[in-house]
Amino acid sequence: MHYLDPQNASFAAAIANAPAPHQLGYVKGREALEVLQKHDPAPDILTEIFEVPGVYGPTSVAMVKSRSLARQRLPMIFYLHGGGWILGSPTSFAPLLEDLARRTGTVIVFPYYTPAPDKQFPFQFEQVYEVLDYMVRHGGDHNLLVQSIALAGDSAGGHMAIAMVQMSLERGLRAEITHMVLFYPVTDVHKKSESYETFKDGPFLLADTMDWMIDAFLPERKDRETALASPLSFLSDKILSKFPPTTIFLSAVDPLLDEGIEFGQRLQKAGVDAAVIKAEGQMHAFVLLKALQNSPTPRAVMELAALRLRGALLLGHDHLELYTFPKLWHFISRRCDGPSRSRRLTSIHPV
């Protein structure tokens, strides 16, 4: 029996007899997540929905920010959502997006990409990069500071965030990616790590569900053996060495645990400022799920994620008014290496 903290154990018991997404199918699986994450919009948060035009669009995009900062020009965190490339929406992710916006004082930009299997690899990557490039080029129209940005993503969204870095390096995105936060990311789809077997029965994410999701998104085996699809196995050290500072948070009870650890280790060996933190007693999706997000470990993880994102964005915008980030500058000025714009927060000891 694998240890789950009391909140995770209670939630695991509550869903023990519920069908998994792969048993429900695409449509009902999506509906189940929406019901699970039913949420009334927070009164202190402003969410705007608009469409980005393009070859792979139009793509619906949500911008989430604190109402108290609505008139300020703010930095952008580009957030890629999980759900196995199949599930998830601005509504089901609203609790997480609102929390992140509140904690960081930034604008969370959330592209609502076309789900698999309606479209398949690499369509969603191209679609999301199209939105990212658009937001960088037209950020001023949306009151955004975009010369320096941050990326974040969970699960399959973490997989997409890694791809965005690769594509940005290859295509010359006109913005510096100052930091990337990954929550329990997918990093390899062509092979299974030991944790797939160890945690094949979940809770919450089952190995069979993950297989179903990969099949829906990447039906062609040859596509799985590429750097975009399986960066852990196929991304070169040369490209990895150019990645931004990265913080990876992992669930201790999760089929994706080992591949997250191994990807973090590859980043570290390539010389990237990469921290890997394993959250004990937590199941997959612990920062997303409403039932868990207010328990001690998810709160601590979100506090740390927000601190590192805020720090990186503040240092990337030398002229940013410090009242946007209350009480943060004193911390950063004590912890950073030197006076240059390239300063970074000190690393957390890796697992």
Q: What are the residue numbers of the active site?
A: 155, 254, 284
Residue type, 292: L
Cα separations (Å) of 338 from 158, 341, 342, 349?
30, 9, 9, 20
Degrees to nearest 5, angle at CA 99 with 98 and 101: 65
d(CA 298, CA 275): 17
Order of strands across the sheet with 176-183? 45-52, 59-66, 107-112, 74-80, 144-154, 176-183, 246-253, 274-283
Is the peptide bond between 41 and the residue preceding it cis, with omega within 30 degrees of 0? no
DSSP line for 37-69: T--PPPTTEEEEEEEE-STT--EEEEEEEEGGG
Dihedral (CA of 128, 130, 133, 135) sign: negative
Q: Name the β-bridge partners of 154.
A: 183
Q: What is the DSSP letter of 28?
A: H
Taking the C-alpha atoms of residue 210 and residue 200, their distance in angstroms, rounded to an integer, is 9
Q: Do 88 and 82 form a contact (C-beta atoms < 8 A)?
A: yes
H or E element in which residue 158 lies: helix 156-171
φ/ψ (deg, to 5) at 248: -115, 120
Residues 6+ apart with CB under 8 A from 188: 230, 231, 232, 233, 259, 263
